[in-house]
Structure 1
Amino acid sequence: MPKVRSVFLSDIHLGTRACQADRLLDFLREYSADQTYLIGDIIDFWAMSRSICWTQAQNTVVQKLLRRARHGERVIFIPGNHDEALRDYCGTVFGEIEVVDELVHEMADGRRFLLIHGDQFDQVTRHHRWVAVLGDKAYDLLVRINHWLSWARRKLGLAGYWSLAGYAKRKVKTALNFIFDFETSAVHHARERGLDGVICGHIHWATIREIDGLSYVNCGDWVDSCTAIVEHFDGRLELVAWGEARPQALLAAPLSETAEV
């Protein structure tokens, strides 16, 4: 089991059918850490207001995170827009898990990163909530369709994981423009704070890249791409994609390279 200094996770969306809790459990079993940061949309209260799907695997994810906290690992929870109700509890501790609105994390090499979910940089979520809710439903539909496409690909013997939702993001120009505006806004906010970069989630677009001299890092999600960010003990960041072939194959990219999933 490789041990890392920090693990950064976002957009798990517990409480939904799309949550890939089994894969997340495999990842957590393989990666132990000194500190784990849960950067928003861990529990999907939006979707749960329509219907609830809480599996045994999802329950085990919660228990495993609580167990890590009890055993001395620092676990920090930063609520996002889908679990924004928990923002009322920022500054408190539940089962040894700290709840905060945002946090500045210092890497092992001394660089300082802002940890924030990222909905603060999303003008649609902030000012046009009904559009955000509609988009959330559409994304959920794409993910469900992708589940059946993945099953069909396995039956046909086609290797690799293909994401319908990811394909739609890459092909739809307005979606790409939104993503790039989001990244620019996040980096601008970190620069104003005098920091070296930002680690966030929200848009389900995992990447590690440099923007105007600062580091922009997005954790991705555990609905579609199944990605996480890990910090090694030298301060180096890696993007880990936990695909269908895990743990036999590891897809990772160091911070020194531009990486996207």
Structure 2
Amino acid sequence: MSSNLPLVLSVTSGKGGVGKTNMSVNLAYSLSAAGKKVVLLDADLGLANVDVILGLAPQHNLFHLFHEEMTLDRILFDTPYGFRILPASSGVSDMVNLDKGQKLDLLDAMDSLEDSVDYLIVDTGAGINDNVLYFNLAVQERLLIITPEPTSLTDAYALIKVLKLHHGVEKFRVLVNMVKDVSMAREVYLKLLNACDHFLDGISLDLVGFVPYDQNVRNSVIAQTPFCHKFPKTPASVAVRQTAQKVKNWQVTPNTDGNIKFFWKKLLFQERSVA
């Protein structure tokens, strides 16, 4: 992949508790371990926890970009795992929804990354609030995390429905998390696919893979270390590496929003439709 054509993808979900942020962190780790330059943006702006999962304590975050005019270079944080993070703040209510001025500030700041990153992974919040829709509208690829829980499926369908009916988004990738085996993963995926086929026209749902339930995932969360690093041979780590390999094959074409600069411009162009 050319360095001036980074792939921008979201890792998103309809509800919390499905392992979305953990998948974001370990996908970033796996792509970085494969020699790619990766930035992980914590886009759950009011309830950020990428830094917590990694056991890190960055001094600065996006709050300082918006409110203290800090440069992106000072906010970008090098993790011990080969990728960088753009941390957000937690428990700050005025970060929940970005205003137009903040979006412009972010646009200007992110332009500096255009030639120095292969993948920008956007770990969105859960649900269908303004920020979740906003970031999902901007990315080239959307990786939707679901689990066998019925609420995970209904909330994932709700997110797909809003993005399709109100914003024309039709293409999604699906990763099934916390399942026993491939048979269960396919059953869960088909439930979501059938609902979309029945009620929504034109939706493309690509099953990327599944991550099995693995006690070592919980152990790594407690240890605040990516499970792909702490337990590289555990089944969940193998599954995430397989997912990362598939992501590496996703193509970026110059005629799409193929770099970060255009990514952020697209965010601004969608301002009216998500307001």
Which of the two has greater strand per residue? 1
Q: Which has the higher contact order (CA 8 A, sep 6+)?
A: 2
Which of the two has greater helix per residue? 2
User: Is the TM-score greater than 0.5?
Assistant: no
Compute the TM-score of the two structures, normalised by the length of structure 2.
Answer: 0.33
Compute the TM-score of the two structures, normalised by the length of structure 1.
Answer: 0.34
